[in-house]
């Protein structure tokens, strides 16, 4: 494989992502170990969340911004009718459904999964949906402006945001609870 095949194709991005996994695991371990030695609260969660949000998002963004075969030659295409592209995808068979729908659900899933663990402002599913939709809109706009020979679709924005929202629901049980939200009986020294 040439450098262009590694960095300019979906297959190359997937291969690099898989090959990077041992380095990612080592990074989480080193960060958590360092934090634990420093007395940081929840060192493993924080380290996993920081590395996971990057490792789980960057490859998808990279794939979205990978140019198609006629990049720069053709004008950007836009699909603004909600659910129209999804109907086409579901008519294409199970492989098309898996590649298009599942991949789009995963684009910002790491943001929904790990973002609330890192950023208190994201500890709400609607906020995660808004952030993911805004980021997805920017990516779709970039595809159009950069003339990457891809279709900028409202359905991609909807699926990207939905994936982040579903992942936020999955991680909700691990979101840190603010000290002010604790019942009075759990606070040391509180009456009652």
Q: What is the pLDDT of residues 83-137, one digit of tens each?
A: 888 888 778 788 878 788 899 999 999 999 999 999 999 999 999 999 999 999 9
d(CA 20, CA 51): 12
pTM of the predicted model over 0.85? no
CA–CA–CA angle 140, 141, 142 (5° rounding): 90
Question: In sequence order, what are the residues at sequence separation of 6 or more whose Cβ sits closer than 8 angstroms to the Cβ of residue 164?
Answer: 108, 109, 111, 112, 115, 128, 129, 131, 132
Do the domain assignments include residue 186? no
Residue 83 lies in a domain: yes
Q: How many domains does the chain have?
A: 1
Asked whether residue 96 is assigned to any structural domain, the reply reads yes
In a domain, 58, yes or no: yes
C-beta separation of 85 from 153 below 8 A: yes
Model confidence at 172, pLDDT cuts 50, 70, 90, reads: very high
The mean pLDDT value for 74-84 works out to 84
- Report percent pLDDT > 90 for the chain: 57
Please name which of 51, 54, 82, 72 lies closest in space to residue 149, comparing C-alpha atoms. 72
CB-CB neighbours of 79 under 10 Å: 15
Question: Residue 168: which domain range?
Answer: 3-177
Does residue 189 belong to any structural domain of this protein? no
CA–CA dist 185, 192 (Å, integer): 6
């Amino acid at each position: 494989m040439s450098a262009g095949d590694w960095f300019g194709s979906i297959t190359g991005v997937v291969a690099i992502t898989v090959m990077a996994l041992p380095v990612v695991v080592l990074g989480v371990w080193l960060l958590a170990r360092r934090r634990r030695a420093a007395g940081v609260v929840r060192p493993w969660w924080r380290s996993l969340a920081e590395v996971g949000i990057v490792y789980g998002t960057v490859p998808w963004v990279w794939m979205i911004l990978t140019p198609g075969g006629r990049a720069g030659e053709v004008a950007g295409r836009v699909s603004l009718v909600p659910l129209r592209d999804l109907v086409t995808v579901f008519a294409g068979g199970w492989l098309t459904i898996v590649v298009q729908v599942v991949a789009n659900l995963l684009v910002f899933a790491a943001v929904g999964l790990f973002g609330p663990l890192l950023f208190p402002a994201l500890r709400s599913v609607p906020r995660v949906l808004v952030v993911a939709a805004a980021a997805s809109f920017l990516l779709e706009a970039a595809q159009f402006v950069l003339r990457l020979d891809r279709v900028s679709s409202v359905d991609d924005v909807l699926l990207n945001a939905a994936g982040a929202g579903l992942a936020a629901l999955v991680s909700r049980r691990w979101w840190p609870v603010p000290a002010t939200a604790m019942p009075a009986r759990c606070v040391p020294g509180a009456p009652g």
